[in-house]
Amino acid sequence: MTCPQCGQANPAGAKFCLADGSSPHVVLHAEALHALGARDDADVLLREVQATAARVTIAPVVWPCAPARAVILEERRSDEAAALRAEVRTSLARVVADLPEELRASAVTVSLVRRAGGI
């Protein structure tokens, strides 16, 4: 795939840009699958993207995948859901700590932070 954002050529079948981490459709795709009852397919898609993003250290791709997977795992009553949320909260807390002080308070209201369970 060629990234529509930056023009980077990516491997065939890539779900997000390896250069800048943009993933305009993958989480939405997985959440739509989940809404249609295809929980396993949604989980597989999110797990694949999350693992690849973690391997190439593209945190902005990992962050939305983890809370979306946590919803699926909570429905299965899996202990992994809490671990995923905790991992993302820790990572987001580091990012928020690096923000200018005047932005820190508003950062905790961002949808992604709320979906991760806060920081």
Contact 30, 16 (CB under 8 A): no
Question: Which of 6-20, 28-42, 59-73, 89-103 shows the lowest mean pLDDT across its residues?
Answer: 6-20
Q: How far apart are CA 81 and CA 99, in angstroms?
A: 27
Bridge-partner residues for 9, per DSSP?
2
User: What is the reported pTM?
Assistant: 0.53
pLDDT digits (tens, 9 = 90+) for 58-116: 666 677 778 888 889 989 988 888 888 888 888 888 878 887 787 788 887 877 778 88
Annotated domain spans of the chain: 26-115
pLDDT at residue number 75:
92
Report the Cα–Cα distance between both ends of the chain, in Å, rounded.
34
Instruction: Please report how many Cα atoms fall inside a 13 Å half-sphere around the Cα of residue 91, on the Cβ side.
Output: 19
